[in-house]
Amino acid sequence: MNFPVAQRPFFAGLAALLLLYAAAGGRYHDQNFLSPEVALGLFSDNAPLGLCAVGVALVLLAGSLDLSVGAVMGCTTIIIATLIEKLHLHPVAAVSLAVFAATINGAMMGAIIHFARLPAFIVTLAGLFIARGGAYLISLESIAIRDSGYKAIAAWAMPMGAALRIPLESLLLVGATSAAWAFLRYTRAGRYVYALGDNPEACIARGLPVARTRITVHALSGLCAGLGGFALTLTLPAGTHTEGVGMELDAIAGCVIGGILLRGGAGNIWGALIGTLVLGLIVLAVATFETRQLTSGSTKVIIAGLLLGFVVLQRLMVGRTVQQTSHSPE
Amino acid sequence: MSAKQTTTARLLSSTAPLAVLVLVFLAAWLTTPNFAEITLREGRFFGAVIDILQNGSIVCLLAIGMTLVIAAGFIDLSVGSVMALSGAAAALVLTSPLQSAPLAICAGLAVGAACGVVNGALVRFIGLPPIIATLVWLIACRGIAQTITDDQKVRFVSPKFEHLANGSLFGLPLPLLLVALIGASAVFLVRRCTAGLQIRGLGASPTAAAYCAVPVTRITLTVFGICGACAGLAGMIAAADIKEADVATCGQYLELDAILAVVLGGTPLRGGRANIIGSLLGALSMQTISTTMQMRGVPAEHTLLIKGAFIIVATLVQSPALRPRLARIFLRRAA
């Protein structure tokens, strides 16, 4: 089987996930870790992060960066909750409006990055500020969603066999990842994403629609963050300011662990899901299953160490071809 | 563009940070009662302006370090977490049997500088992009801070250490004097020292700098080290101000404030130039906005929106793609 160099980090991430899962299964054997409920819980607990990571992966593949996903996700939960509870909109309309707003926000950031030739990190940093500030402008307090129609949607789950039910947010996560995968693999616009991340100059020289591609990936990242917000309101159910703080870093970490190259242009979108599950597995093990008392600080140190390890691994595996991506556009 | 127009454009861009500060200040003065009032009590000045200078000192310190890092062509996203870690380290020394304020300050500075050097090493030796390297360190640093303090706030009583934030000399707050001293040293470093030239050279073109025998490793580690030490000092001032080290929230989002101050100050994000005075003016503009909002009873959370809008406007004005067009419009009006 052909084993391209740029694919190796993805398989390293996959191997890490399987190893961790097996190790956790062995270690917490008496606590029934290998049950399907735990596996399903892993998907549904990490759906918001996973959706954000898919968006970040799209942006990274195109050679850009998005630091605003956590804030956009938080802002979306507040918008959904406000529209339903204060303006008494139909849940479907509220969610569509909120996700649409997140998409437009992403598209605007992409447009500024492209047309003003500003570094992606500073524009999306501003986007982070604006999304957080905007959420506080809409409501200073978190809003609980009490609408019965919304509760019904949140409680819906796909029956699977006798006792298992797959919650909506897990379906959303897997569905969004599949859609992104199909987009990248089978559409022309999706191939342009890889091309743009691999070599922007060549794209311009070959007359590819650089502006459209760049704005599209940022819009899709906004869309994914918005869907992440929707998934979060399904589990909470509330609009909240405290969730998603620092999630942009976790999303990038997930992408890196899943083998999406930081310099752009190479990587498998399923890697975002795999990386998210690795992070989720660690958090789950530390928070629930580990009997020794560990602080949330040690989780952070573990995640940072893991991120560093995988970045170094990327460099070793893909070798010299990893260019040092400058934070400035030239 | 004629020579005269070029001079006008240059003059405009070099006075822009000051103009922004003056505009913000005037707006605050006109809309807020008692804004410019300064009173002398117990040998010390009080008033909104003094508050701005004192509270702004933390972002000012971060902005000085960040200017050097950005001038050398890098970025440091970890300063907020480094603040938390060095504040925690100083607080732990103060609550240990040693209880020595000078030792605590040394510990805080050393931790900050060490954090910076680690960032520099990740960038230089492993070759990580600075955004990613400092992102890793941002997560790790707060994690370490939470681990060494067991996720608790560390309260301490040390009048000497508290001087760092609340002390005064010649009627002026001590943090302000520290900022002035460090700022002046940084200006001297950038303008008058070989190292300053090398920092700017590295930022302008890493390849050319390497060919010109610039000690790239030493410069990289130095700028990150200085940035870390500045963050360390800022963290200790923040801890001394509230008499406790709060690892969970200390310095959160301040890396963004520092970068914003640098951008407002006219240092381009692509590196190669350092405008320390501009960064300080930028930091003070932002603190003026925050303090005025606070005085007018606007929730602190809403200032995030204004800061975000400020970043967009400031970077758009500096954008290499838009700047010539903007300058042309502006100069045509002026003529």
State residue A100's pLDDT score.
Answer: 95
Of the candidates A264, A243, A244, A242, the one whose C-alpha atom is nearest the C-alpha of residue A326 is: A264
The residue type at A209: P
What percentage of chain B carries pLDDT values higher than 90? 25
Best to test chain B binding among A66, A125, A306, A312 (most B CBs inside 10 Å) = A125
Question: From CA B263, how far away is CA B329, in angstroms rounded?
Answer: 22
The reply to whether residue A123 touches residue B138, judged by beta carbons under 8 angstroms, is: no
The residue type at A242: T
Q: How far is CA A16 from CA A9, A11, A19, A52, A125, in A?
A: 10, 8, 5, 21, 31
The reply to whether residue A297 touches residue B302, judged by beta carbons under 8 angstroms, is: no
State residue A325's pLDDT score.
Answer: 42
Of the candidates B245, B221, B218, the one whose C-alpha atom is nearest the C-alpha of residue B234 is: B245
For residue B40, report the phi and psi dihedrals to the nearest 5 degrees. Answer: -110, 115
State residue A264's pLDDT score.
Answer: 84
**A26 in contact with B at a CB cutoff of 8 Å?**
no
Question: Which residues make beta-bridge pairs with A166?
Answer: A158
Q: How far is B270 from chain A (nearest CA, A)?
A: 5
Q: How far is B144 from chain A (nearest CA, A)?
A: 6
**A236 in contact with B at a CB cutoff of 8 Å?**
no
User: Tell me: the pLDDT tens digits for B268-293?
Assistant: 888 888 889 999 999 998 888 888 88
Question: From CA B273, how far away is CA B261, in angstroms rounded?
Answer: 15
Best to test chain A binding among B147, B263, B264, B273 (most A CBs inside 10 Å) = B147
Q: How far is CA A98 from CA A71, A102, A146, A225, in A?
A: 13, 6, 18, 11
pTM of the model: 0.85
Question: From CA B143, how far away is CA A192, in angstroms rounded?
Answer: 39
Question: From CA B82, how far away is CA B136, in angstroms rounded?
Answer: 12
Pairing state of beta strands B38-41 and B44-47? antiparallel
Q: Which of B74, B136, B315 sits opposite A122 (nearest CB)?
A: B315
CB B319 within 8 A of CB A116: yes
Q: Which two tokens stand for residue B12?
A: 């405009």
Q: How far is A111 from chain B (nearest CA, A)?
A: 12
Would you tell me the crossing angle of helices B174-192 and B57-71 to the nearest 10 degrees? 10
Of the candidates A142, A321, A99, A105, the one whose C-alpha atom is nearest the C-alpha of residue A231 is: A99
More confidently predicted of A223 and A246: A223
State residue A33's pLDDT score.
Answer: 78
The residue type at A214: R
What percentage of chain A carries pLDDT values higher than 70? 92
State residue A230's pLDDT score.
Answer: 92
State residue A328's pLDDT score.
Answer: 38
The reply to whether residue B304 touches residue A296, judged by beta carbons under 8 angstroms, is: no
Average pLDDT of span B299-316: 81
What percentage of chain B carries pLDDT values higher than 70? 93
User: Tell me: the pLDDT tens digits for B216-253?
Assistant: 899 999 999 999 999 999 999 999 888 888 887 787 77
Q: Residue A258: which residues within 8 A CB-CB, separation 6 or more?
A: A10, A13, A53, A57, A267, A268, A270, A271, A272, A273, A274, A275, A276, A278
DSSP secondary structure code for residue B273 in this structure: -
Q: Residue A68: which residues within 8 A CB-CB, separation 6 or more?
A: A105, A109, A124, A125, A127, A128, A131, A225, A248
Question: From CA A219, how far away is CA A59, in angstroms rounded?
Answer: 9
Best to test chain A binding among B144, B220, B312, B322 (most A CBs inside 10 Å) = B312
State residue B288's pLDDT score.
Answer: 86
List, as ranges, residues 32-71 from A with C-beta within 8 Å of B: 65
Average pLDDT of span A257-277: 89
Q: Is the pLDDT of residue A323 over 70?
A: no
**A142 in contact with B at a CB cutoff of 8 Å?**
no
Q: Which two tokens stand for residue A71?
A: 């804030």
Q: Which two tokens stand for residue B128?
A: 């990580």
CATH code for the part of the protein at B43-334: 1.10.3470
Of A126-130, A292-296, B230-234, minimum mean pLDDT range: A292-296
Task: Give the 3-state secondary structure of residue A329.
Answer: coil
State residue A324's pLDDT score.
Answer: 42
Quote helix, strand, coil % in chain B, to nearest 5. Answer: 75, 5, 20
Question: From CA A253, how far away is CA A260, in angstroms rounded?
Answer: 10
Contacts of A246 in chain B (CB under 8 A): 139
Task: Give the 3-state secondary structure of residue A99.
Answer: helix
Query: To which H or E segment does residue A238 belong?
Result: strand A238-239
DSSP secondary structure code for residue A87 in this structure: S
More confidently predicted of A328 and A143: A143
More confidently predicted of B232 and A296: B232
State residue B225's pLDDT score.
Answer: 96
Average pLDDT of span A232-248: 82
Neighbours of B244 (CB within 10 A): 16
The residue type at B151: D
Question: From CA B224, how far away is CA B121, in angstroms rounded?
Answer: 9
Chain A, nearest residue to B206 by Cα: A326
State residue B84's pLDDT score.
Answer: 92
Contacts of A70 in chain B (CB under 8 A): none
For tokens 């996203």, the residue is B77
Neighbours of A45 (CB within 10 A): 17
User: Tell me: the pLDDT tens digits for B293-305?
Assistant: 877 777 777 888 8
**Domain segments of chain B as ranges:** 43-334
CB A210 within 8 A of CB A203: yes
Q: How far is CA A81 from CA A4, A91, B142, B153, B167, in A?
A: 46, 9, 31, 33, 47
Domains contained in chain A, CATH given: 5-320 (1.10.3470)
For residue A190, report the phi and psi dihedrals to the nearest 5 degrees. Answer: -65, -40
Of the candidates A255, A286, A270, the one whose C-alpha atom is nearest the C-alpha of residue A20 is: A286
Q: Is the peptide bond before A237 cis (omega within 30 degrees of 0)?
A: yes
Contacts of B121 in chain A (CB under 8 A): none
Helices (H), chain A: 8-27, 36-45, 47-61, 69-85, 91-115, 120-138, 148-155, 168-186, 188-198, 200-205, 210-235, 247-257, 270-284, 296-318
User: Tell me: the pLDDT tens digits for A243-262?
Assistant: 777 788 889 989 988 989 88
Which of A156-160, A180-184, B8-12 is most confident?
A180-184
Of the candidates A20, A26, A71, the one whose C-alpha atom is nearest the C-alpha of residue A42 is: A20
User: Tell me: the pLDDT tens digits for B119-151?
Assistant: 999 988 888 888 888 888 888 888 898 888 887
pLDDT-derived band at B3, boundaries 50, 70, 90:
low
pLDDT-derived band at A295, boundaries 50, 70, 90:
low
Q: Is the pLDDT of residue B308 over 90?
A: no
CB A71 within 8 A of CB A79: no
Question: From CA B178, how far away is CA B182, in angstroms rounded?
Answer: 6
Q: Which two tokens stand for residue A289?
A: 């299953």
User: Tell me: the pLDDT tens digits for B23-53?
Assistant: 888 887 887 777 777 777 666 677 777 778 8
Contacts of A65 in chain B (CB under 8 A): 131
Concatenated DSSP letters of B164-195:
HHH-EETTEEHHHHHHHHHHHHHHHHHHHSHH
Concatenated DSSP letters of B183-226:
HHHHHHHHHHSHHHHHHHHHHH-HHHHHHTT--HHHHHHHHHHH
User: Tell me: the pLDDT tens digits for B189-215?
Assistant: 988 898 888 999 898 888 888 888 889
